[in-house]
């Protein structure tokens, strides 16, 4: 990867990631990849039943890794399923695993030629990761990962998350 490649433009918004008009949306999945609540449930509902049928063929996904599927009924052409760490206080490699989710998701996006990617705040819901350090890892990892992706949009679901990302990105 040439080091002179510009890093992606970063955007921040509050909303439902399933409505994002980007090439790929990232799902905060679990290791089975068979759906769940939160953003995982929303994405599966919006994508339709073909998504879980396809996911059944993938054999799951370890924490910190990412797998790409079609988006089916979603506006996004692809869904990148990544599995964030469950927060246990921060001394079980949670920061490294969360960073790996962003890095691996960008790698999958590059492999399919996605130029725009929307991320939720991975691990900050059911998995309990505190939003401020998670937002810092998200922004710092995306900024420091060489990628062919040109636009990364962080899609927050509430104002608390938005404020945490805004603290990292600075006012527009
Ligand atoms: N769009 C964008 N963000 C959303 C949406 C949505 N439609 N729904 C929830 N979120 C936000 C949450 O507010 C949180 O900030 O996504 C972030 C991640 O929360 P979760 O979806 O709970 O995911 P996570 O904390 O990574 O836990 C993953 O939850 O749903 C299950 O199957 C999933 O077992 C896995 C676990």
Note the pLDDT of residue 126.
97
Ligand 1 pocket, CB under 6 A: 16-18, 28-30, 36-42, 84, 120-127, 155, 157-158, 161
> pLDDT tens-digit profile of 68-106?
999 999 999 999 999 999 999 999 999 999 999 999 999
Note the pLDDT of residue 39.
98
DSSP letter assigned to residue 19: G
Model confidence at 170, pLDDT cuts 50, 70, 90, reads confident
Q: Does residue 52 register a pLDDT over 80?
A: yes
Give SS3 for 25: strand
CA of 28 to the centre of ligand 1 (A): 6
Token pair of 145 as six digits: 């990962």
In DSSP notation, 95-132 reads HHHHHHHHHHHHHHHHHTT--EEEE--TTSSTT---HH
43 vs 155: CA distance, rounded Å: 13
Q: Which of 12, 29, 38, 101 to mutate to test the pocket of ligand 1 (most atoms within 8 A of CB)?
A: 38
Note the pLDDT of residue 7.
87
Domains of the chain are 9-167 (3.40.220.10)
Q: Does residue 62 register a pLDDT over 60?
A: yes
For all residues of the chain together, what is the average pLDDT? 96
Q: Does residue 1 register a pLDDT over 60?
A: no
CA of 127 to the centre of ligand 1 (A): 8
The residue whose CA is least distant from atom 24 of ligand 1 is: 123
Catalytic residue numbers read: 40
> pLDDT tens-digit profile of 145-164?
999 999 999 999 999 999 99
Q: Does residue 117 register a pLDDT over 90?
A: yes
The residue whose CA is least distant from atom 19 of ligand 1 is: 125
CA of 104 to the centre of ligand 1 (A): 18
CA of 42 to the centre of ligand 1 (A): 9
């Amino acid at each position: 990867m040439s080091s002179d490649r510009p890093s992606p433009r970063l955007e921040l918004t509050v909303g439902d990631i399933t409505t994002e008009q980007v090439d790929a949306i990232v799902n905060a999945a679990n290791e089975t990849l068979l759906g769940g609540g939160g953003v995982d449930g929303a994405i599966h509902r919006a994508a339709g039943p073909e998504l879980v049928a396809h996911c059944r063929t993938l054999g799951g996904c370890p924490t910190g890794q990412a797998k790409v599927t079609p988006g089916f009924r979603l506006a996004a052409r692809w869904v990148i399923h990544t599995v964030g760490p469950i927060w246990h206080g921060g001394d079980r490699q949670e920061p490294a695993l969360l960073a790996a989710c962003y890095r691996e998701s960008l790698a999958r996006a590059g492999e399919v030629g996605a130029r725009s990617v929307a991320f939720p705040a991975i691990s900050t819901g059911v998995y309990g990761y505190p939003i401020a350090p998670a937002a810092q890892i998200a922004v710092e990892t995306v900024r420091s990962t060489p990628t062919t992706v040109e636009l990364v949009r962080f899609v927050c679901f509430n104002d608390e998350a938005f404020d945490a990302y805004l603290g990292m990105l600075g006012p527009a």
